[in-house]
Structure 1
């Protein structure tokens, strides 16, 4: 008889362990004791009875105002975050609007106080409205709207009861004992959020900038001695994330922090701006306008269109800046390097118009007024006339020009002694040559200024993009 009993127990253990997902108990691993997680086998009547006894009935044992601890100890809430989309990233207002959902898990020791396997069946998991159970009042601490708990009466929570049936064979007495082991119920809550939180924006390197924003969650009203957050995952879940057209999400992190006795969980998001749109529609046209503005010095002085050309180029700058102003960050602290670049380019364009007026005034100067000696030497040097071996001879006033007077007075030579006039005749320098020389000189100067401004402002921005 004892032999038959042992064979029966061994056969039963083998069948339960290999075919019904039975698992050995933690304190024994032999066929004399096998533990099997209960399956969720419960009728509609049994489930309604459990809901009435625990949550909805007049004598329900569960109270949502009481933290889910038998001894009111700290409730550890594990949290993860799934990001779905970045709705808006406003640099001026310093706000980040995102859509996603949280996953919060905690153990509730009070849910199964009234559970009875006979009346309620093998109930292991169920879904109920969130209003039936205690929840941590999670809020976005750095919200720009209001610090209110995330909640919605349409949300549900999933409860896993965690019951395990253990079958133990007592070989001495020849009996089989069935024991129900109760584990602490696990509550899973996944509320969706549409959060608009504050974020410090540094637009110094716009449009090659990177930004880091932090969304802070807090269990408002509960110190860390009552509710404490733990990060379920080290990073944000991006499985269902939809890419933003303006920003690239580079990295994420979830960390826990305790400030002033309150437990915070921080969701860090690091973004990098996509710069191509701004380079094509903002930087490139400005560079083209700068080159066009400088070309005014290559127009002939007697063309009559130089003033109109330079003023039109300057007005084009002004009109274009008005058009693109909506795309520029409207912050003063810090101000974008690109804004300084645009201001310098406008100043250079205005300087081009002023210098054009000056050179035209020189070009149309009265020819009877001689070019000063120092300026004549300078212009002659710049035009390589002083360095030439042969002196320049003005066809109208040849060298050693002598005026012969015939009359009662003896013939004599009259030689011009004015030094400025002598230099002008000697090097062939007049006001038109001065103006054309200044045009070429200022053309090179303004080309150089444009290049210097680009190196000073744009090169650091490009280096920032590479880093």
Structure 2
């Protein structure tokens, strides 16, 4: 028991001594490394040497894609690695294997975006520490949101696919001074929101004839499920309802209000589509053409409804213009309309009497004109009358039998 109580304080004292030695050794290493070091100059021994920087983009997800402003926001991290030979040390002399330092303590390559929306430097407002190893290797991991411009292509909305390009370069060094070696990682990418990532590529190119740049090509695809349920299907249903306006009987007087309601519904959907589309999109979305055409058809059907109602409730004793009379006689001749009567007191028809002569004896009223232009309603009403006549004939036959 006494031996154990004596060993415990000795162990604590040993740890305190070793910790103090480590801190002192690290402090000496730091003082030695940065005694004559400056973070302004490139970390090379010879001016002709090129600093090779490995850049790996770790995409986290697509934060937002604003088609109206043409702005793409990407949540991503950037892993930069290079070698600073002026900051290496011997492990036998100094025990630390790695030093964690502020980014302002050593030279770091500043990445800039050539197609930004508000700021050029990546993650300029945030500070990220660097890891310095004994062999001079430096690892600098940054993270945040990259906001760049992207020209939208909404022609096939909501099945649109956009191709966006991010051009990143290190300033103000030329390729002979600093060269980038890019790569991209998608292991941390998460699918959330309205957009998903399609084909992508990354490569190093010469920018402006002097600078080493990274060109990232991304394919952004929209998930169409929500747009189909909230926009496309209601528009198709309204198109079907627009054709059903002629099924309403003209006597009820609900046709005009029905047609105007459908027309205003198309106008509302057109305003909704216009609010989520860029004002100067090239090419124009096909959906806008479709809605405009359906709106025009709805307006035409409203005009036809008003005219048909005016003709239906007009004075039937007034004469019908000659052109409308010809159109209605042809229609009545084909359908054998019940108003197309041949007077009974005329002479018997000759066998060689033509159909045009019979049509010439048809009497045309304003309701015939309304029924001619109201083709769908004409068929509907004619079928109802045929059913009524058939039911009356059946009842008459049953009564005669009994």
Q: 2:264 aligns with which of 311, 315, 320?
A: 315
Aligned length: 348
**Does residue 23 of structure 2 align to residue 44 of structure 1?**
yes
2:152 maps to: 201
1:120 maps to: 94
Higher helix share: 2
Distance 1:313 1:423, change over 3 A: farther
2:391 maps to: none
TM-score by length of 1: 0.67
Q: 2:196 aligns with which of 248, 263, 287?
A: 248
Q: 1:238 aligns with which of 186, 199, 202?
A: 186
TM-score by length of 2: 0.77
Local SS of the residue matching 1:277: helix
Coordinate RMSD, CA, aligned: 3.0
- CA drift of 1:364 comes to 3.2
For 1:372 and 1:424, locate their aligned partners in 2 and report how far apart those are by CA, in whole Å: 16
- CA drift of 1:391 comes to 12
Contact 2:41 2:107 in 1 (8 A): yes
**Does residue 300 of structure 2 align to residue 351 of structure 1?**
yes
2:175 maps to: 224
**Does residue 221 of structure 2 align to residue 286 of structure 1?**
no
Distance 1:98 1:153, change over 3 A: closer
For 2:213 and 2:251, locate their aligned partners in 1 and report how far apart those are by CA, in whole Å: 74
Distance 1:247 1:386, change over 3 A: closer
Local SS of the residue matching 1:427: coil
For 2:378 and 2:133, locate their aligned partners in 1 and report how far apart those are by CA, in whole Å: 80
For 2:124 and 2:264, locate their aligned partners in 1 and report how far apart those are by CA, in whole Å: 55
Distance 1:356 1:93, change over 3 A: same
Distance 1:323 1:268, change over 3 A: closer
1:157 maps to: 130
Unaligned stretches of 5+ in structure 2? 1-20, 348-356, 380-402
Query: Which of these two proteins has the greater Rg computed from alpha carbons?
Result: 1
Distance 1:259 1:137, change over 3 A: same
Distance 1:98 1:51, change over 3 A: same
For 1:313 and 1:154, locate their aligned partners in 2 and report how far apart those are by CA, in whole Å: 57
Distance 1:150 1:325, change over 3 A: closer
Unaligned stretches of 5+ in structure 1? 1-41, 163-184, 402-421, 445-467
Contact 1:84 1:241 in 2 (8 A): yes
- CA drift of 1:262 comes to 0.8
For 1:369 and 1:49, locate their aligned partners in 2 and report how far apart those are by CA, in whole Å: 114
Local SS of the residue matching 1:208: coil
**Does residue 111 of structure 2 align to residue 138 of structure 1?**
yes
Local SS of the residue matching 1:142: coil
Contact 1:293 1:310 in 2 (8 A): yes
Distance 1:399 1:159, change over 3 A: farther
For 2:268 and 2:125, locate their aligned partners in 1 and report how far apart those are by CA, in whole Å: 50
For 2:332 and 2:358, locate their aligned partners in 1 and report how far apart those are by CA, in whole Å: 14
1:175 maps to: none
1:90 maps to: 66
For 1:332 and 1:279, locate their aligned partners in 2 and report how far apart those are by CA, in whole Å: 21
**Does residue 388 of structure 2 align to residue 440 of structure 1?**
no
